[in-house]
Amino acid sequence: MGFVQFTEPAGNLTEAARTFARVIVSMGEEAEAINLYEQRMVAESNSEGRAIMANSQAEEMKHFGMDLEFLLRQKPKWRAILKAILFTDGDIVDHGEDAEHAAHGVQD
């Protein structure tokens, strides 16, 4: 049985758009798994069980990062915005505002 992955008929989308949609969906699934493991680790009293869950969560984070990197390679504007926000010190909202303004000239 299939599932809804596209908001438009797949035949109306380019192969690149279909791949993009698949990776976006995958990234959401990885984020959901990261969240599930986080909650399970908080609730788990057995240290060995928590360690196994932490290992699994790290694997999901790796997949999330790979998905994100793939998308950023497809969207130069996204890369420009996120480069100005991620791994910086200071006010996150200010960095976001500055990044959005700076990326106006970048084309996807």
pLDDT (tens digit, 0 to 9) for every residue of the chain, 108 residues total? 456 678 888 889 999 999 999 999 999 999 999 999 999 999 999 999 999 999 999 999 999 999 999 999 999 999 999 999 999 999 999 999 988 888 877 777
Alpha-carbon distances, residue 45 vs 40, 49, 53 (angstroms)? 10, 8, 12
Say how many Å lie between the first and final Cα of the chain, rounded: 34
Where along the chain do its domains lie? 1-74, 76-108
pLDDT at 10: 85
d(CA 6, CA 9): 7
Please tell me the pTM assigned to this model: 0.86
